Structure 1
Amino acid sequence: MKTHARAVVVGGGAVGTSIAYHLAKAGWTDTVLLERDELTSGSTWHAAGLLPLFNMSYAVSHIHDHSVKLYKALEAETGLNAGFSVVGNLRMAQTKERMDEYMLYASTAETMGIPFEWLSPAEIKERWPLVRTEDLLGAVYHPTDGYINPADVTQALAKGARQRGVEIVRKAQVDAFRREGGEWIVSGRIMGEKGGNLIATEEQFEIRCEVVVTATGNHAQRTAAMVGCYIPAIPVEHQYIVTEPDQALVDWRKAGNPEHPVLRDADAKWYVREERGGWILGPYERNAPARFIHGVPDSFRADLFQLDLERIEEEYASMLHRVPSTENCGLKDDFNGPICYTPDGNPLVGPAPGVENFYFAEGFSFGITAAGGTGHYLAQVITEGEAEIDMWSLDPRRYGRWVNREYAARKNEEAYEHVFILHHPDEERPAVRPLRTAPSYDRMKAQGAQFGQVNGWERPNYFAPAGFDDHGARSFRRGGWWQYAEAEAKAVREGVGLFDATAFTKHMVKGPGATAFLDWLTCNRLPKVGRINLTYGLTDAGTVRTEFTIVRLAEDEYYVVTAGAAQLYDSDYMVKMAEAKRGELGWIEVQDVTTQWGVFAVAGPKSRELLRPLLVDADPASALSNRRFPWLSMRRIDLGAVPVLGIRVAYTGELGWELHHPIEMQNHLFDRLMEAGEGVGLKLCGARAQNWLRQEKSYRAFGSDLGRDATPLESGLDRFVDMTKAFKGKAAMEATGIRAKCVTVLIDGPADADPWGREALLADDGKGGLRKVGRLTSGGWSVAMGRQIGIGYVEPGFAAEGQKLRLRMFRELYDAEVVPESPYDPGNAKIRIDG
């Protein structure tokens, strides 16, 4: 075994071998893969091997698509057949809501060029007569995917890695990671076997390396703990059964008919595929328990749990209904094994928080499907500094340090149960909620707040009358909440609204090196003392990594506000960057103060009327004027007994202020604002109305419109980029050029629906047809324009104002037009209005 390597990958399942393969393919041939047992001995060996392309996530869809394409090419490269059966994937729908879901799924597929077909019940029956269709409304069919043999694809990836110079060591148990001299030292023991159990031998090993990547599956919590991290990757039981041969199926195939596609009856919560003349049934039932909450026992190897047939009785009966011939089949085999999950069902792929050059690839509930693409894109992150797609939605740091085992176990059980439950874009899952609440939570709930959660924080989505059913209000079209969000948006445009923005991430950055540090880290010029600026931190590839609102409190003291969902993501980044620059710039202190400050945002033409009665000021009549409190400035003010850091800015494009206050005083401030609001018609507002309003101003949202796949110049943020100074990522940004442009579009869409931000943008192809020229990243309703609105990216040649485009919603095409930036109040007169 080598004692030095450039990279060490820990874990020899499909994901780990793919990472080693892709690192070597990228030129990092000096890579070692360590596996504690045998390759595939974790969850890989008992995985069903399905390769579903459909996914609501743009990033995950890219990963799955890359996997499917890679697996089809592995045999030509390695000589090993990966066992890929390209039989297609048929997603059946029993309800209109399910068909609406598939149409939204198809929007993501269309943006990526993934082929799909729509089938009627009659067309399904014609192709696959064994399937009962009289209670179906239709299906969507992916002809290019299917299933694969997990062991075969893992061995093919391993062979491809070896051919490129990777050393793969089996029976190597990793016991510790430590940093020494800027390197990682990976240490452990060579394992033996006695009585069917793995046992440690006397032989130990150490490998020095630059980078460590872990893909340890069910052992993820133990692995992360070795470097002082906790990640919410906990397995959940997944069981599937294999039937004896089905004579009707055997006869069907003997007659020369093709293999059935993978059948998915999402309304019945199962998948079914052929297996040697019989069938595999894989249910996603309720009450599947989390396992190994405190770690995997040393004795657990390629083991299984006892089958619980009672738990899947309903799904089994549904299979008998959908494929009636299965009623004559006995059970041949059964599997009940651990499959790792995370609270949102997406894997954890990216840098480990708090440590350098250490990466996680953990928490894969669809590990075979994701393995190939994960290896490809994570290798780009490691070897090039960034992937070509935005990996934010998979970043391990999207979960903060507040997450613990109880939270992860309950949310992972929920994620498993929700695999086939309708995935409304406005869904809010209930497990372990409320957990993180601002002090005003109960007051807002009493006022009708319907909460969503961001980074665990409860945040009002909208406000509704008593007795309103938020769950029943969800839809793929305009849900029952829509009318309340519209009223809130109108209130902000015409009067005044109040938003709870406590979930914002907040940091204090100060010290002798703070100014030079932030000037280097961000692309805009820094504000003067008492002023604020919007700016961006860039990746090494020159793309948008983080959006910062910087408030300059003193010469070397800054209050930095970023997205609420990105608390650990941004905190870990700033701390690491500050540590790297201290030797050059001097002391830089970065302190996360998120939980110390609450935030209310007030916005609308009557904002001054709301705040003036509360001001403790010698001249309250002028205290909020443009002269004393100009736009994009900060002042410390007193609102009654509450000291407030007032920031004159509004994400809605109206006159407004953010009121940052000591969080322990929040209820007092809320009560005073509500009292003052009685005279001016104050309306409590939620995130959905705010999302619509910011699109009317062409304000980009981090995580959707802004991400690590576009530069600030491509994102239309030129006015926030100071090209006269040096900043991190500048050269890469300039070298990238303009591959696409961010635009705002107005849409003449359907009467009962708005775009969700996943739709493809199409244009005339010059041949009498249409071609894809871009995609939406945000969508909604414009109360000011009375039309649907969206923000998205198009090819540069289609970004001119007035450009006519088409957009597909629910299988129908609608007209869209590129409009000028900030279609509402383009001159910002309402934001700057004096009074």
Structure 2
Amino acid sequence: MKTQVKALVVGGGAVGTSIAYHLARAGWDDVMLLERDELTSGSTWHAAGLLPYFNMSFATTHIHDYSIKFYKTLEEETGLNAGFAVVGNLRMAQTDARMDEYMLYASTAETCGVPYTFMTPDEIKAKWPLIKTDDLKGALYHDTDGYINPADVTMAMAKGARQRGVMIERRWQADAFHWNGEAWEVTVTKMVEKGGNLVPSDEQVVITAEHVVTASGNHAQRTAQMLGIKMPAIPVEHTFIVMDQDPELVKWRAEGNPEHPVVRDADNESYAREERGGWILGIYEHGAPARFEYGVPDSFRADLFPLDLDRIADQYMAMAERVPSCADSGLKDDFNGPICYTPDGNPLVGPAPGLRNMWLAEGFSFGITAAGGTGYYLAQMMVDGEAEIDMASLDPKRYGDWMTTEYAARKNEEAYEHVYILHHPDEERPACRPLRTSPAYDRQAARGAQFGHVNGWERPNYFAPMGFDDHASRSFRRGAWWEHVVEEAKAIREGVGLIDATAFTKHLVKGPGATEFLSWFTCNKLPSVGRINLTYALTINGTTRTEYTIVRLAQDEYYLVSAGAWTAYDSDFLRKAIADKAPEFGYIECHDVTTQWGVFAIAGPKSRDVLKEIIKDADPETVLSNKRFPWLTMRNIELGMVPVRAIRVAYTGELGWELHHPIEMQNHLFDLLEKAGEKHGMKLVGARAQNWLRQEKSYRAFGNELGRDATPLEADLPRFVDLSKEFHGKEAMQAHGIRSKCVTILIDGPEDADPWGREVLYHGDTRVGRLTSGGYSVAFGRSIGMGYVKPEIAVVGTKLKIKMFDQLWDAEIVEDSPYDPKNATIRVDG
């Protein structure tokens, strides 16, 4: 066995073999793959092998699209048939809401170039008469996907990897990882058969690898423990059964008819496909338990769990109704095995938190579908520095150290049972909540707060009368919540509103090297003491890695505020950059102070009047004036007994302040603000109204308009880029040019719906871009959105079409900051 390699891939399932293959294809000629047992012996061997396009994530849709296309090329390259049956995928709907879901997904798929068609019940019945259709509203049909043999596709990728020079070693288990400062030293142990079990032998080898990728599947918790990190990848039981022959199906095929597509009965939580004259029925039921929370027993190899027929009885009976001809087919075989999940159902793909050159590819609930694309895009990240698509939504650091095994297990069970539950864009899943709460949580709940879940934090989405049912109000259109959000948005535009922004990520960076470091780390000029600037940290490829509001507290002390959903993601990137550059710039401290500071944002024409009621100053009438407290400055003030770091900025585009305060004093401050706001009509406001309002100002949001697939210049933010200085990613940013451009769009859409920020955009008959944000504008009385289009049409006044509910609606590109473009309301004096 070779003991020094460029890259070591740990795990020989479909995902691991794809990564090894694509690293070699990308030009790395010294790659090794280790498998503790036999290739495919993990979840790969008992996977159903379906290849569904359907996914609400832009990044994951690209991953699935690549896999489906890539698998079709493997036989030509390797000579091995991967067993790809391109039978298509029929996703049926029994309700109008389900059809709305499919239409939203379809518009997203269209942005990625994924083909689809909609079918009526009559069209389904005419094409596949064995399917009962009288209770259906319709279906979404992909004719280019289907299913594949998981073992065959894995072996084909393994052969392709070997042909490209990859070394594949079976029966070797990774038992320890040590970073020596330059490379990983991985202790591996030879595994041997003993009494039917696989056990470690006395033979050990240390492999030195510049890069390590873990694709350990069900063994992810063991991997995490060895690496000293947290990883919410825990398996959940998944059942599919093989039914005896269906006589009518046998007859149908004997008459020369084609194989049925994969039939997905989403409202009955199941899928089915043909299997040798019978059917395979797969189920995503309630009550499937998480397994192996603390590691896989040594005795568990290519094993299964006992079948729980009671747990799947409803879905089993529903299959007999959907395909009546199978009602008398018996149960031929069953597979109830572990499939890894994560709390949001998306895999963990990217750099491991806190570690150098350690890459994770874990938590794949749809591993066969995602394997090909994961290998392709992860190889780009490792070889080129970034993938061509924004992979942030899959980054392992989207979960912080607050995450525990119990949280991951319960949320993974929830994610499993939600596979076929309607994926409303405004859905809020209840498991493990509330967990992270600001002190004012109970006060806000008592006032009707309907909370969202962001990085574990409870954050008000909107406020409604007590007893309001948020779950019942969810919709792909304007739900019952919509009118409450309209009133909140109007309150900020016309009066004053208070927003809990405690979840913001906050870092303190200070020390003799802090100034030079941050000047290099971010693309805008640094503010002077007491002032703030908006700026961006770039990737090595010049795209946007993180957005920061930087407050300069002292000559070499800075307070950095970034998105609340990305605390661990931002912290890891910042700390690694400091470690790299500290020898050059000098001593730098970095502290994550997110949980030390609460934040209230007060905004609206009357916000100054509210603060005057409670500010402690010799001259309370002028302390908040433009002269003493200009826009884009920070002042330490006192509100009642609370010392506040007040920042004159407002994400809503109105006069306003962010009030950063010691979190232990939050309830006192909340009570002060609430009492002072009573006579000014202050309204409590949630995140949805804020999201609408920031679009009226064309404020880009990280994770929407800002990400690792576009530069700040493509986001049309040249005013926040100081080209007179050198900064990380500058040359790469300039080399990209402008491939697409961010614009704001006003939309004349359906009367009962607004865009969600996932929709495709057309110019004439040509697809030219996609929305990244969407909502409603109270200022213009129309739907609003932001997104990217081809640069040649990113011109104010350009007429576009937006796809919503399978129809094209009129839209128009408007000027940046269509509401108050001169920022007069923000700067108003008083």
TM-score (normalised: structure 1)? 0.99
| CA distance in structure 1 between the aligned counterparts of 2:187 and 2:161, rounded to whole angstroms | 22
Counterpart in 1 of 2:788? Answer: 793
> Which amino acid is the alignment partner of residue 788 of structure 1?
S
Counterpart in 1 of 2:535? Answer: 535
> Which amino acid is the alignment partner of residue 582 of structure 1?
A
> Which amino acid is the alignment partner of residue 7 of structure 1?
A
1:780 aligns with 2:747: no
> Which amino acid is the alignment partner of residue 221 of structure 1?
Q
Q: Secondary structure at the match of 1:118?
A: strand
Question: For 1:163-182, what aligned pairs fall within 5 Å after superposition?
Answer: 163-182=163-182
User: 1:812 deviation in Å?
Assistant: 1.4
| CA distance in structure 1 between the aligned counterparts of 2:376 and 2:462, rounded to whole angstroms | 40
User: 1:771 deviation in Å?
Assistant: 1.4
User: 1:203 deviation in Å?
Assistant: 1.5
Counterpart in 2 of 1:723? Answer: 723
1:806 aligns with 2:801: yes
* 2:88–2:262 contact (8 Å) kept in structure 1: yes
| CA distance in structure 2 between the aligned counterparts of 1:622 and 1:712, rounded to whole angstroms | 37
Counterpart in 1 of 2:819? Answer: 824
Counterpart in 1 of 2:450? Answer: 450
Counterpart in 2 of 1:515? Answer: 515
Counterpart in 1 of 2:362? Answer: 362
| CA distance in structure 2 between the aligned counterparts of 1:22 and 1:29, rounded to whole angstroms | 11
| CA distance in structure 2 between the aligned counterparts of 1:182 and 1:792, rounded to whole angstroms | 41
User: 1:466 deviation in Å?
Assistant: 1.0
| CA distance in structure 2 between the aligned counterparts of 1:271 and 1:155, rounded to whole angstroms | 26
1:119-147 superposed Cα distances (whole Å, 9 cap, x missing partner):
00000000000000000010010000000
Counterpart in 2 of 1:43? Answer: 43
1:779-824 superposed Cα distances (whole Å, 9 cap, x missing partner):
0000001111000000011101101100111111111000000000
User: 1:704 deviation in Å?
Assistant: 1.1
Counterpart in 2 of 1:9? Answer: 9
> Which amino acid is the alignment partner of residue 234 of structure 1?
I
* 2:35–2:173 contact (8 Å) kept in structure 1: yes
User: 1:181 deviation in Å?
Assistant: 3.9
1:610-655 superposed Cα distances (whole Å, 9 cap, x missing partner):
0001111011100000000000000000000000000000000000
> Which amino acid is the alignment partner of residue 754 of structure 1?
D
Q: Secondary structure at the match of 1:123?
A: helix
* 2:188–2:207 contact (8 Å) kept in structure 1: no
Counterpart in 1 of 2:666? Answer: 666
1:296 aligns with 2:291: no
Question: For 1:354-503, what aligned pairs fall within 5 Å after superposition?
Answer: 354-503=354-503
Counterpart in 2 of 1:269? Answer: 269
Counterpart in 2 of 1:98? Answer: 98
Percentage identity across aligned positions? Answer: 72
| CA distance in structure 2 between the aligned counterparts of 1:690 and 1:332, rounded to whole angstroms | 55
Change (3 A) 1:238 1:583: same
| CA distance in structure 2 between the aligned counterparts of 1:709 and 1:346, rounded to whole angstroms | 19
1:142-169 superposed Cα distances (whole Å, 9 cap, x missing partner):
0000000000000000011100100000
Q: Secondary structure at the match of 1:15?
A: helix
1:248 aligns with 2:248: yes
1:189-212 superposed Cα distances (whole Å, 9 cap, x missing partner):
111112211122221111111100
Q: Secondary structure at the match of 2:825?
A: helix
User: 1:113 deviation in Å?
Assistant: 1.2
1:450-494 superposed Cα distances (whole Å, 9 cap, x missing partner):
000100000000000011000000000001100000000000000
Counterpart in 1 of 2:655? Answer: 655
Counterpart in 1 of 2:579? Answer: 579
Counterpart in 1 of 2:121? Answer: 121
| CA distance in structure 1 between the aligned counterparts of 2:202 and 2:290, rounded to whole angstroms | 34
Larger mean Cα displacement after TM superposition, 639-648 or 195-204: 195-204
Counterpart in 1 of 2:688? Answer: 688
> Which amino acid is the alignment partner of residue 159 of structure 1?
K
1:639-694 superposed Cα distances (whole Å, 9 cap, x missing partner):
00000000000000000000000000000000000000011000000000000000
Counterpart in 2 of 1:767? Answer: none
Counterpart in 2 of 1:621? Answer: 621
Counterpart in 1 of 2:315? Answer: 315
User: 1:394 deviation in Å?
Assistant: 0.2
| CA distance in structure 2 between the aligned counterparts of 1:163 and 1:813, rounded to whole angstroms | 48
Counterpart in 2 of 1:597? Answer: 597
1:611 aligns with 2:618: no
> Which amino acid is the alignment partner of residue 824 of structure 2?
A
Counterpart in 1 of 2:641? Answer: 641
Q: Secondary structure at the match of 1:830?
A: coil
1:140 aligns with 2:140: yes
Q: Secondary structure at the match of 2:52?
A: coil
Q: Which runs of 5+ in 1 are unaligned?
A: 765-769
Counterpart in 1 of 2:569? Answer: 569
| CA distance in structure 1 between the aligned counterparts of 2:331 and 2:806, rounded to whole angstroms | 41
| CA distance in structure 2 between the aligned counterparts of 1:668 and 1:294, rounded to whole angstroms | 42
Q: Which runs of 5+ in 2 are unaligned?
A: none
1:705 aligns with 2:709: no
Q: CA RMSD in A?
A: 0.5
| CA distance in structure 2 between the aligned counterparts of 1:72 and 1:384, rounded to whole angstroms | 26
| CA distance in structure 1 between the aligned counterparts of 2:86 and 2:281, rounded to whole angstroms | 19
User: 1:226 deviation in Å?
Assistant: 1.1
| CA distance in structure 1 between the aligned counterparts of 2:128 and 2:756, rounded to whole angstroms | 34
> Which amino acid is the alignment partner of residue 666 of structure 1?
Q
> Which amino acid is the alignment partner of residue 729 of structure 1?
G
User: 1:112 deviation in Å?
Assistant: 1.1
1:74 aligns with 2:69: no
| CA distance in structure 1 between the aligned counterparts of 2:199 and 2:773, rounded to whole angstroms | 54
Question: For 1:149-164, what aligned pairs fall within 5 Å after superposition?
Answer: 149-164=149-164
User: 1:320 deviation in Å?
Assistant: 0.3
TM-score (normalised: structure 2)? 1.00
Q: Secondary structure at the match of 2:713?
A: coil
Counterpart in 1 of 2:810? Answer: 815
> Which amino acid is the alignment partner of residue 207 of structure 2?
I
* 2:615–2:637 contact (8 Å) kept in structure 1: yes
| CA distance in structure 1 between the aligned counterparts of 2:199 and 2:433, rounded to whole angstroms | 42
Aligned length, in residue pairs: 830
| CA distance in structure 2 between the aligned counterparts of 1:473 and 1:251, rounded to whole angstroms | 47
1:293-349 superposed Cα distances (whole Å, 9 cap, x missing partner):
111111110000000010000000000000001112111100000000000000000
1:352-376 superposed Cα distances (whole Å, 9 cap, x missing partner):
0011000100000000000000000
